[in-house]
Every structure is written in structure tokens, then in C-alpha cells.
Structure 1
């Protein structure tokens, strides 16, 4: 086992963003141990002891062994979930819980490790109401927003703040005829609100009359701002219509970005803003595990190198 401090990369098999970062780290001679926590315990195992120095032990993949006391950094991306297909429902539920709190607990407590990002902090930041409240606290401009399960409250909000868009509070995938889909952002009118709103929580937000979108990617102290022109309500619905340009953030935005990340204990974030006709930036959301690698070939920004610098531990 190498004594060099490795970078652990936790993600699923199909993750092109991770691929380019690992290639960069390999070119620098930085050891990398990549695995999907969802492979536990079939092809992934741990032997971790709690000692006066913290977690000590090893993590074993089919091709690598990592010393848990010497991990340089952990890049937590998009691992798959734990699955125990050979167990009955009750036993599988127990096994999943033990895996989550066992393997997950060990990975969340590595001594001297830089997390990009820490999985617990990712979980905190993925709650949209928390993120919007933190954005206000950080000094961002946030559109009027309502979270409700009340049809009357929704109608009143839309009449008062229209035009209004509906956003899912989270976006789990579902399938239609075998094709993976997700709930899209869409404009909604008061007449479209019916009693089914009472079935769960919903997020309604005043629509920003925007001229463009901004994706800001923060990696440690590095801030990359890209303007996205599309003419679409949600630019993620048609990447073929997007054009990109590098922009500078308005005064105060960089400070607010770091204040927001600090609030959640994050070192990475993919922020989305809408730009209105007065060139004002409106905060929409921050994804603590967001995509970013496709922007480098479109803009020439050195984003892969910046992420590798962060994981390698170069001065920021």
C-alpha cells in the first residue's frame, strides 16, 4: 500500500466530471482511490477502528487499498444507493441502515481530511428553504417565494406576485415508458391551482423577468462566472440552445458567495442566478454537488485544474 496520501473519490460509475478530475490528478502524480459507496459490501469493504487518534484502518476496493488515517481529501460526488437484492424487505431495510451509518459514518469522520463537500453538509444545503433563507442572510437578492400545501395560500401568492413559477423542492427521477424524467420548472397561474396542492409541499416563486442566466462555480477561493444566454425559462431543458460568455461578478457577489458556503460548511458550490433588464443578479439556488465540467471547453476557464488544486491541497 502506498504511503502517499490519496484522494478518495466517491461517485457512481458514469460520472464524466469525476473522470476529468481524476485524469488531472493522475497527471500530477496524486494517488486516487475511486469507488461507489453503493458497491458496499459486494466489492467494497472497510476495517476501521476508533482510536485515540481518530479513525484508523483501511478501505478496500477491487483494485486499491486506502489508509483511512492518511486521506488527503474526499471528493463526494454522486454515489448510488445501497442495495441488498438477496434480502427480504425487512432485512434489506436493516442492512441499508447499517451500511449508511457504518460506512457513511466512517467516511464522514476521516482525520485531517478536506471534504469537497462533506456529505452531511451537502445534505443540509440541499433543502431549498434553508438555502433560500441562507441566501437572504448572505446578502443575495432573492425573488418572493412561498412554500405551502395550501391551495388558497398558493392562489393568493400568485395573484399578488405574478407571474409566478412552480419549482420542485427536490427533483427525484421518475420514468415514462422507460425514459428517465424529472419535474420541470414551469409558470403557473392562479386558475391552475386546485385541491391537489394540499397533497404535499410545493414551492412557488415570483418569476424574474430575465435576460440571461448566470452559473457561478466556486472551488475554494476560485470563482468562475459564466453567463448563459438561451431565451429559455429553464436553460437545462435544451443545452443545444445555449451560448456562453465569461463575466465578472457585480460588487458584493463574491463576498456573498463565500458567506453562503461558509454558512453550510462547504468549499464547493454551483450557484444559479437570473439577470434582469437592470443587470441585477437574482439568486435561484446553489447545488453543493452541481455539474460544472462541461463549461471548461465552452469557455476556456481552468476549472479542472482548480478542482484538482483544491483536492491536492495546493494553497488557495
Structure 2
């Protein structure tokens, strides 16, 4: 009897969301190979050959081996970055440029495999300006937004739109007195903008007076919408205040969601909207690797089953 093709899960060692997905796949009899690309090359090796018949070879961890030609689906979550502490500084700089193009290139070229999501498509979709532009093209309402390194342009934008919030374009770890922090979404005034804005790119967006937030998780063709009531500007700052209610999307939202995902070649997306005082949904962002399982625990929506179905199906 032919062994069933495994699902390859690429993520860090600590990923509770991946844990529950793997457990569900195991319960269905679907084999799983889990690896963290950040373990390369210490405890992860790659052998891949480009042949007239396509890409062949294997990925090997300390305990498992995955035949590249036999992978059913690849669930790309949140692997750690490449590090080479055993090398000199110069050699490490060289190695860290080779690894993503080598191992990363192999992971991006697995034959006959369903990606959830493809790592290159994730990378494309994580750029906020292109995401906002795609949202406009998909038909979503998007608040007026400015990306700039000009203090004068930022001040003029704030004066023109009144209530404006600042958002980081990416969320790296930010150390304050040695303590890890994240840069939060916050309201900003024209007087608060100084010449420091000229140091890099910044995102400013008109604040939409809201009555609630919405998290929409799209898994393949299935759409799960949850209203989040909190009274907070950014609901992610205090999960203890959140109240969750499953809701149906307004007319037109479902088609726009699929149009947005198609623009980036995604099959999964975690969308954030705010609900304006008139009830309309305003697009804020889409995270192609966003968290979702805590919403199933809070609401009972069958998102785990939907994701496992997507990974289990043969492309």
C-alpha cells in the first residue's frame, strides 16, 4: 500500500497554532513533517537537484525526512531567521545571504504541492502600501493613507484630515531599556511630528470613528467573520477586554475578499476591518500568516477543520 503524502509544516518550535493543526492532521491519519528553516544547517539539511523531470531531493531534520516529490501540502507559518553563530562575521554575512536563496528557493519550488501560503506570496502581501493599494482595487473602503519620510508632508496630512493615527509599516522587536516592546498604533497630532520622521518611512492614516472591529479569516473558499468589541483604538493591546460575536459580512465583502487574495495568489488571509459609525466596514490590513485559532476557541467557528481540509486535499 502506498504511504499517504505528508504535509510539510514550516514554523518555529513554539507555535501553538501549528500544534493544533498538526494534531488535527494526525487524528485524520495525515502524516506531517515539521521543520524550522531557521534550524538550517545545524539540524536541518537540504539535498535538491534540478533534473529534466523537475525538482527532486529531500529535506532532513534530526528525526524526519521529506521527499520533495512526495509532499502533499506546505503550511508556511512563522519560521525563525537564519543565524550562523559558528562562523566568522564575514563568513556569516555570506552564509545568511545564501540560505534564503538556497533552502528558501527549494521550499518555494516543491512540485505538485498546495501552499498555505506560498512564502513568496506571503512576502509580497506583507508590504502594507501594496496591500492597501490592492484593497482599493478589490473594492474595499480604505481610509486616506500617507506613506512618507517628509515631516512637512506628514504635518500637512494631519492638518488636512484632522484625527490621524500612526502605524508601523512592520513590527520588529523594539528594545526600551533592554525590554522588548512593539510600536503600537497611536493617534498623532501635527505638533508631535518632528524632523525625526525624515529618518525612515512612516505610515499615517485618517482615523475612522468606529463602533467595533472585525477580524475576517478566509481559509480557501470559507469565510469566518468575528466582530470584536473592546472600546480600544487597537484591540491587540489588551485581549482581556475583548468580546467576540460571529457575524455575516455585508454585501460585496465576500467577493472583495477573494479578489484581494487572488491579487496576491493567497489561499489564506486574516483581514482586519473597523466598523464605522454608519455601519460600513473599512479595510485596515490583511495578514497572510495571521493568528486565528483563539477565535475558534472563543466562538466555536470551525476554522481548524477548514484549514485541515485545505491541507489534506490533494492538489
When normalised by structure 2's length, the TM-score is 0.98
**Alignment length (residue pairs):** 314
CA distance in 2, matches of 1:33, 1:314: 16
**Residues 218, 268 of structure 2: 8 Å contact kept:** yes
CA distance in 2, matches of 1:177, 1:60: 40
CA distance in 2, matches of 1:314, 1:207: 44
Specify the alignment match of 1:230 in structure 2: 230
Could you tell me which runs of 5 or more consecutive residues in structure 1 were left unpaired when the two chains were aligned: none
Query: SS of the counterpart of 2:293?
Result: coil
Specify the alignment match of 2:129 in structure 1: 129
Q: Any idea what the Cα deviations from partners look like across 1:262-310, whole Å, max 9, x if unmatched?
A: 0000000000000011110000000001000100110000011111001
Deviation at 1:63, TM superposition (A): 1.3
Specify the alignment match of 2:245 in structure 1: 245
CA distance in 2, matches of 1:124, 1:188: 28
**Residues 72, 314 of structure 2: 8 Å contact kept:** no
CA distance in 1, matches of 2:30, 2:178: 40
CA distance in 1, matches of 2:69, 2:3: 11
Specify the alignment match of 2:169 in structure 1: 169
Specify the alignment match of 1:198 in structure 2: 198
CA distance in 2, matches of 1:202, 1:179: 23
CA distance in 2, matches of 1:307, 1:180: 32
CA distance in 2, matches of 1:55, 1:163: 53
Deviation at 1:178, TM superposition (A): 4.2
Q: Any idea what the Cα deviations from partners look like across 1:178-219, whole Å, max 9, x if unmatched?
A: 432110000001111111111111100000100000000001
Specify the alignment match of 1:273 in structure 2: 273
Q: Any idea what the Cα deviations from partners look like across 1:116-159, whole Å, max 9, x if unmatched?
A: 11111111000000000000000000000001111111111111
**Residues 274, 284 of structure 2: 8 Å contact kept:** yes
Specify the alignment match of 1:41 in structure 2: 41
Specify the alignment match of 1:103 in structure 2: 103
CA distance in 2, matches of 1:116, 1:41: 24
Specify the alignment match of 2:25 in structure 1: 25
When normalised by structure 1's length, the TM-score is 0.97
- Structure 1 residue 298 corresponds to structure 2 residue 298: yes
CA distance in 2, matches of 1:193, 1:20: 44
- Structure 1 residue 254 corresponds to structure 2 residue 254: yes
Q: Any idea what the Cα deviations from partners look like across 1:227-272, whole Å, max 9, x if unmatched?
A: 0000000000000000000000000000000000000000000000
Q: Any idea what the Cα deviations from partners look like across 1:47-87, whole Å, max 9, x if unmatched?
A: 11111221111111111111100111100000001111011
Specify the alignment match of 2:141 in structure 1: 141
CA distance in 1, matches of 2:197, 2:177: 26
Deviation at 1:162, TM superposition (A): 1.4
Specify the alignment match of 1:11 in structure 2: 11
After superposition, the Cα gap between the structure-2 partners of 1:246 and 1:314, relative to the gap in structure 1 and judged at 3 Å, is farther
Query: SS of the counterpart of 1:50?
Result: strand
Specify the alignment match of 2:87 in structure 1: 87
The RMSD of aligned alpha carbons is: 1.1
CA distance in 2, matches of 1:211, 1:61: 49
**Residues 7, 33 of structure 2: 8 Å contact kept:** yes
